[in-house]
């Protein structure tokens, strides 16, 4: 169980992120067309999982925009933004913001948050995901995993992208 903070108050997650060097858990998430998408759908590509509580919050929007900018420069890689938002809300945000290089995926009907150890157990956001970044190689081995220590803070983009470029 990891402990992070939200506005300085401790929050627990249901577990830990997948370990660097280990294999990432398989998942099924829902895309903006209401289709189930799995980790296997991105086989052979390097992956950045930008895990956020909700695209309705400023920090989540900022991280999605920043990864969207970087994703266009990443050959053979895909950036997935994962939140509990409904696919309709994700589609609306991406369309309004011109997000074209990131794939929005909803965890609303999956065990993703539990399986990746990112489900918040405490506070007003209990049930949503902690902010985290997990970088995977082409065979789904974890290259980088980060919980942001403060939920309201942005992730370490440079470290995540450096791990991706070393894949």
List residues with catalytic annotation: 60
**C-alpha neighbours within 13 Å on the C-beta side of residue 165:** 10
With a CB cutoff of 8 Å and minimum separation 6, the contacts of 74 are 46, 48, 161, 164
The closest of 125, 64, 69 to 90, measured between CA atoms, is 64
Q: Where are the alpha helices (DSSP H) in 109-156?
A: 112-115
| Tally of CB atoms within 10 A around 58 | 8
- Rounded-to-integer distance, Cα 26 and Cα 63, Å: 24
Q: Which long-range contacts (CB under 8 A, 24 or more apart) does 34-39 make?
A: 34/87, 37/103, 37/105, 39/140
Residues in the chain, total: 167
């Amino acid at each position: 169980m990891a402990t992070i903070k939200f506005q300085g108050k401790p929050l627990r997650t249901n577990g830990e992120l997948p370990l660097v060097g280990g294999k990432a858990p398989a998942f099924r998430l829902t895309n903006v067309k209401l289709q189930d998408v799995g980790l296997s759908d991105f086989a052979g590509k390097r992956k950045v999982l930008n895990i956020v509580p909700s695209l309705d919050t400023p920090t989540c929007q900022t991280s999605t925009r920043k990864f969207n900018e970087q994703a266009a420069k990443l050959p053979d890689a895909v950036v997935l933004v994962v939140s509990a938002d409904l696919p309709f809300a994700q589609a609306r945000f991406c369309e309004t913001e011109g997000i074209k290089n990131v794939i929005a995926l909803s965890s609303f009907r999956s065990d993703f948050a539990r399986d990746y150890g990112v489900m918040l157990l405490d506070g007003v956001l209990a049930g949503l995901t902690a902010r985290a970044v997990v970088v995977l190689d082409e065979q789904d081995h974890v290259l980088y995993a980060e919980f942001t220590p403060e939920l309201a803070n942005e992730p370490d983009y440079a470290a995540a992208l450096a791990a991706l470029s070393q894949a």
